[in-house]
């Protein structure tokens, strides 16, 4: 059995003391690849360092997280795009990017602009997106729609590639799920929330989301699944998500692992 954790920040300081054990435990749990979404300018080096230490196991993406947008965001994006222009770049996707109005709408326009620019990278460099959304479902859907290929007139940088990727940490309603599934080349990223006792996500998934549209993720060090809830999350715990999905869909754990891994590789073809 092989599982792909499609969203894990194990390059972070929280793991500095025991990263070797964290990776070992992930492998023991059946994880055979971990995707590492970038956050900001400072996280690029530790992320790439971890990928160099575990080639063929850890894979980096590049992008600026909406919560990390500050006054210098244009310079940060310019520096990131320079890396993408190198045809030998190691990045398997653009992320994590998106909109987050949970704490503040102060940088509403900057977040929208940065998101749009980074969607253009996905098209121009032919990479999948990892999209983070919090308290911004409507706005996020509108931006992705406006950049989608059937809306090419609005897409300033014309390109033959299509938008693909993951709606990371999905935990919305049936209606929201349907809206996201309408983007035919996107997966829903399912993590620890699905294991929480009061979560409505199991019902939403069972009724609305086929297993062939799901990838699994931890979002380590956050969002640890039951029975680790409240603790530091790590990639090994993605197994608890896979087990919960097996229960929800009434299939074996290894079937969930296989289908979600195939979905992940289909979406991130550079992760080979
Ligand atoms: Ni994340």
Sheet holding 58-60, edge to edge: 3-5, 31-36, 58-60
Mean pLDDT of 28-42: 98
Ligand 1 centroid – CA 247 distance (Å): 25
Ligand 1 centroid – CA 73 distance (Å): 18
The Cα-based distances of 75 to 70, 113, 219 in angstroms read 10, 14, 27
Percentage of the chain exceeding pLDDT 70: 96
The tens digit of pLDDT for each residue in 199-232 reads: 999 999 999 999 999 999 999 999 999 999 999 9
Tokens found for residue 137: 């479902």
Report whether pLDDT(157) > 60: no
* Helix, strand and coil percent figures for the chain, each rounded to 5: 45, 15, 40
Per-residue pLDDT band for 155 (boundaries 50, 70, 90) equals very low
Tokens found for residue 45: 């080096």
Predicted local confidence at residue 160, as pLDDT: 56
Ligand 1 centroid – CA 219 distance (Å): 5
Q: Give the pTM.
A: 0.95
Which is nearest to 31 in space by CA: 241, 203, 248? 241
Ligand 1 centroid – CA 224 distance (Å): 12
Ligand 1 centroid – CA 153 distance (Å): 31
Predicted local confidence at residue 136, as pLDDT: 95
**Contact status, residue 184 vs residue 197, Cβ threshold 8 Å:** no
- Gap between the Cα atoms of 259 and 51, Å rounded: 25
Ligand 1 centroid – CA 248 distance (Å): 24
Which residues crowd ion ligand 1, with CB under 5 Å?
A: 219
Ligand 1 centroid – CA 96 distance (Å): 7
Mean pLDDT of 129-133: 98
Ligand 1 centroid – CA 260 distance (Å): 18
- Gap between the Cα atoms of 148 and 151, Å rounded: 5
**CA-based Rg of the chain, rounded to a whole angstrom?**
17
- Gap between the Cα atoms of 78 and 25, Å rounded: 37
The Cα-based distances of 219 to 2, 126, 206, 222, 257 in angstroms read 18, 24, 22, 6, 17
Q: 3-271: what fold?
A: TIM Barrel (3.20.20)
Ligand 1 centroid – CA 160 distance (Å): 28
Predicted local confidence at residue 145, as pLDDT: 96
Ligand 1 centroid – CA 220 distance (Å): 8
Which is nearest to 37 in space by CA: 115, 118, 93? 93
Ligand 1 centroid – CA 7 distance (Å): 6
DSSP 137-148: HHHHHHHHHHHS
């Amino acid at each position: 059995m092989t599982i792909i954790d499609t969203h894990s920040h194990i390059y972070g300081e929280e793991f500095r003391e025991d990263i070797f054990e964290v990776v070992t435990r992930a492998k023991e749990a059946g994880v055979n690849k971990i995707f590492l979404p970038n956050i900001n300018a400072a996280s690029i080096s530790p992320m790439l360092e971890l990928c160099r230490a575990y080639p063929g196991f850890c894979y980096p993406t590049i992008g600026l997280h909406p919560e990390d947008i500050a006054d210098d965001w244009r310079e940060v994006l310019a520096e990131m795009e320079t890396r993408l222009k190198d045809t030998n770049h190691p990045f398997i996707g653009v992320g994590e990017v998106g909109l987050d109005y949970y704490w503040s709408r102060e940088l509403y326009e900057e977040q929208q602009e940065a998101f749009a620019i980074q969607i253009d990278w996905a098209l121009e460099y032919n990479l999948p997106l990892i999209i983070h959304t919090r308290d911004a479902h409507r706005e996020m859907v509108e931006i992705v729609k406006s950049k989608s290929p059937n809306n090419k007139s609005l897409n300033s940088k014309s390109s033959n590639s299509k938008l693909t990727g993951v709606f990371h940490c999905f935990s919305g309603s049936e209606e929201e799920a349907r809206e996201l599934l309408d983007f035919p080349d996107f997966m829903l990223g399912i993590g620890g929330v699905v294991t929480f006792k009061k979560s409505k996500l199991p019902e939403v998934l069972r009724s609305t989301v086929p297993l062939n549209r799901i990838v699994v993720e931890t979002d380590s060090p956050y969002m640890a699944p039951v029975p680790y809830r409240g603790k530091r999350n790590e990639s090994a715990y993605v197994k608890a998500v896979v087990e919960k999905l097996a229960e929800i869909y009434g299939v074996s754990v290894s079937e969930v692992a296989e289908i979600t891994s195939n979905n992940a590789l289909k979406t991130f073809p550079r992760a080979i």
